Copies of this chain bind each other. A is one copy, B any other.
Amino acid sequence: MVTDLDETLAALADPTRRRIVELLRDGPRRPGELSAAFEISAPAISRHLRVLRRSGIVEERGVDSDARLRVYRLRPEPIVALQAWLDQVQAFWTDQLGAFKAHAERVSRENES
């Protein structure tokens, strides 16, 4: 729902958060599991997760069997939205090709007549 480009990019601009995303790519993980994969403290991971959560890149769920546990998983929406923006920007390349073609055409037509 919250797919603000600003928050998405700010969230992904941090290497630790990107590594978290890469870990979550392979499936849902608990904060403790993520913590174990890094050298920084658990509170630091917790705050990274909050940033990712607020940006909508991940979502948190409780675990039925043990209410102390939480599980984080990826959400596709913000990633997709970012890809859409990049596609739209990257079209500058084809646009320039198009503009060049249009220009070439115009010139050749002028030369004919």
Contact = CB atoms under 8 A, between A and B. Distances in A.
Interface residues of A, number: 34
Contacts of A82: 86
A15 B25 contact: no
A24 interface: yes
Interface string A69-113: 000001010011011001111111101100100000000000000
Nearest to A91: B25
A16 to B, nearest CB: 10
A27 B96 contact: yes
Most chain B CB inside 10 Å of its own CB: which residue of A15, A74, A80, A92: A92
A93 B80 CA distance: 11
